[in-house]
Amino acid sequence: MTEKGKGGASRADRIDGLRRRAEFERDTLAREVAGLRGAIDERRARWKTAGWIVGIGAAAWTIGTRVFGKNSISARIGRLTSVAQVLFGLGRAAGRVRRFW
């Protein structure tokens, strides 16, 4: 039993045509999705690299401010050595002045 539609094609022929069209469109869609997936993976890799670079920079900045900042241990030691140099200089000057008396 074949039924003819408006175009003269039987129902089975229309179904076969629709199946071929669906297969073609499925293949095209699969290729497009694979291409998009590659682009997404590439962009993700770029952002991941950028995140690593920013993270390393932030860590380096934090360590730098801790080591070389205004309130860091090295700055405190530097201020302490400046004060010590002044005190030792005054002591040395007082010792020289004492010799003359």
- Residue 94's pLDDT is 84
Half-sphere exposure of 35 (CA within 13 A, CB side): 6
The SS3 assignment for 4 reads strand
52-66 pLDDT, tens digit each:
999 999 999 988 888
- Residue 1's pLDDT is 46
Structure-block tokens of residue 91: 């002591």
- Alpha-carbon radius of gyration of the chain: 41
CB 3 within 8 A of CB 10: yes
23-79 pLDDT, tens digit each:
999 999 999 999 999 999 999 999 999 999 999 999 999 888 888 888 888 788 888
Domain locations along the chain: 1-68, 70-101
Q: Check residues 8 and 88 and name the one with the higher pLDDT.
A: 88
